[in-house]
C-alpha cells in the first residue's frame, strides 16, 4: 500500500507599509524651495543649483539650464515655466531647456499664472503684474509689502503679505490687482490654496520682528490653518491650529498641510479634522507641496519625497 505524503505550504502575505519615498536620482538630497507642474512634468527648485525637471513622476531628475541662481518660486501652465530668483524672474517656453530673464529685477518670493497674466510677489516691493507674459511689469497698489503667498481662482486674487516690520494680513482683489481689501488681519499668511469655494490660509508665528535677509530655520508655534467659505470675507481657524504651515495643497475635499518640523497633516473633510501622515518621512520640514496625477510630492530640506494620493485620501 502506497503512502501518500501531503506537503502543505503556508503562504504568508508580504505586507508593505504605505509611506513616503525619497526621489533624489539625479538631484541628490538638496533643499527644495519650490515645486510646480507643467505639461505633465514636475519641476523643482533646489537650493542654489537652480531648476530641475522630472518627466517620470520624480523617479529621475535633470538639471535645466537655469542652474546657477537661488530659485525661490516656480509657476507653470501648458505654455510657460517661470522662476522667481534672487535677481528677478526667468521665463522658459521649452520646459527649462532655455531661459530668458525679463525686466523685473527684484527678489521674487512667490509666483502665479492666470491666463496671460503673470503675478510676482517680491520682498519689500509688493506685487507686480504682467499682462503680456512677462514682457513688462506693473506694480499693483499692494506696495511696500513682502508678498509671500499667492492663489488665484476666478476673478479673485489672494495675497499673503506683511509690511516691513509688524503688519500682517491676507489681501483680496477682484479686479486683477487694481484694488485690495485686507482680511485675516494680524496673521502672517505664508501659504494658500483653493478648493472649490473654500480658501485655506496657512500661517506662522508673527511675534518676531522681521529683519531683511533673515532666514528662520526654526520657528515658534504658529496659528495653523484658517478656512474661508466666502472668498475671504470671513475666516475660521481650523483644528490644525498650533503649527507653522509652510505650504498647502488641495485635491477635491482633501487638503494637505506641510509644516515646519512636524511633517504632513491631511484633512479629508475640507479642513474640519486633520491627521498626521509621516510614514517614511518623519517630522521633516516640508517647504512645498505639489500634486501630479496619482502622486503628491513634498519638497523638504532633504530633497523630494513622493507618495500615492490614494494612501492619504479617504473617500
Strands of 39-167, DSSP E: 41-46, 51-54, 62-63, 71-76, 81-85, 88-92, 100-101, 108-114, 117-122, 127-130, 138-139, 145-153, 156-163
Cα separation, 233 vs 255, whole angstroms: 20
Length of the chain: 315
**Is 54 in contact with 44 (CB distance < 8 Å)?**
yes
pLDDT at 215: 43
pLDDT at 218: 43
pLDDT at 300: 97
Q: Where are the domains of the chain?
A: 21-311
In the three-class reduction of DSSP (H, G, I as helix; E, B as strand; rest coil), residue 238 is classed as: coil
Model confidence pLDDT, tens digit, residues 38-70: 999 999 999 889 999 999 999 999 999 999 889
Cα separation, 267 vs 255, whole angstroms: 5
Q: How many CA atoms lie within 13 A of 236 on its CB side?
A: 10
**Is 46 in contact with 31 (CB distance < 8 Å)?**
yes
Give pTM, 2 decimals: 0.90
Cα separation, 244 vs 312, whole angstroms: 21
Q: Name the β-bridge partners of 269.
A: none
CATH topology of domain 21-311: Methylamine Dehydrogenase; Chain H (2.130.10)
pLDDT at 314: 73
Cα separation, 129 vs 75, whole angstroms: 14
Spell out, as residue ranges, where the chain has pLDDT lower than 50: 1-16, 208-220
Cα separation, 129 vs 104, whole angstroms: 10
Q: What angle do CA 245, 251, 257 make, to 5 degrees?
A: 10
pLDDT at 221: 64
Residues 6+ apart with CB under 8 A from 246: 190, 191, 202, 204, 258, 259, 260, 285, 286, 287, 288
Cα separation, 260 vs 240, whole angstroms: 13
Q: Regarding beta strands 295-300 and 303-308, do their DSSP bridges make them parallel or antiparallel, or are they unpaired?
A: antiparallel
Amino acid at each position: 500500500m502506497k503512502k501518500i505524503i501531503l506537503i502543505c505550504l503556508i503562504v504568508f502575505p508580504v505586507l508593505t507599509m504605505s509611506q513616503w519615498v525619497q526621489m533624489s536620482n539625479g538631484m541628490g538630497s538638496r533643499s527644495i524651495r519650490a515645486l510646480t507642474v507643467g505639461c505633465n512634468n514636475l519641476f523643482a527648485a533646489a537650493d542654489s543649483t537652480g531648476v530641475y525637471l522630472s518627466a517620470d513622476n520624480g523617479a529621475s531628475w535633470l538639471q535645466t539650464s537655469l542652474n546657477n541662481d537661488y530659485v525661490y518660486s516656480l509657476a507653470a501652465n501648458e505654455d510657460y515655466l517661470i522662476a522667481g530668483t534672487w535677481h528677478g524672474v526667468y521665463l522658459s517656453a521649452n520646459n527649462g531647456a532655455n531661459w530668458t530673464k525679463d525686466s523685473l529685477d527684484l527678489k521674487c518670493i512667490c509666483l502665479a499664472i492666470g491666463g496671460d497674466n503673470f503675478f510676482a510677489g517680491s520682498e519689500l516691493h509688493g506685487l507686480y503684474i504682467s499682462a503680456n507674459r512677462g514682457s513688462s511689469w506693473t506694480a499693483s497698489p499692494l506696495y511696500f509689502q513682502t508678498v509671500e503667498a499667492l492663489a488665484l481662482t476666478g476673478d479673485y486674487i489672494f495675497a499673503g503679505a506683511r509690511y516691513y516690520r509688524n503688519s500682517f494680513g491676507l489681501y483680496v482683489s477682484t479686479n486683477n490687482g487694481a484694488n485690495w481689501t485686507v482680511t485675516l488681519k494680524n496673521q502672517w499668511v505664508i501659504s494658500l490654496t483653493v478648493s472649490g469655494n473654500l480658501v485655506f490660509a496657512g500661517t506662522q508665528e508673527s511675534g518676531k520682528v522681521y529683519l531683511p535677509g533673515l532666514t528662520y530655520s526654526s520657528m515658534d508655534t504658529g496659528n495653523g490653518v484658517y478656512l474661508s467659505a466666502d472668498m475671504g470675507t470671513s475666516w475660521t481657524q481650523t483644528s490644525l491650529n498650533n503649527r507653522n504651515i509652510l505650504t498647502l495643497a488641495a485635491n477635491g475635499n482633501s487638503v494637505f498641510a506641510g509644516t515646519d518640523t512636524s511633517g504632513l497633516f491631511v484633512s479629508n473633510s475640507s479642513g474640519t479634522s486633520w491627521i498626521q501622515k509621516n510614514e517614511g518621512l518623519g517630522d521633516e520640514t516640508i517647504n512645498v507641496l505639489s500634486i501630479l496625477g496619482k502622486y503628491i510630492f513634498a519638497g523638504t530640506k532633504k530633497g523630494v519625497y513622493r507618495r500615492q494620493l490614494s494612501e492619504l485620501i479617504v473617500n
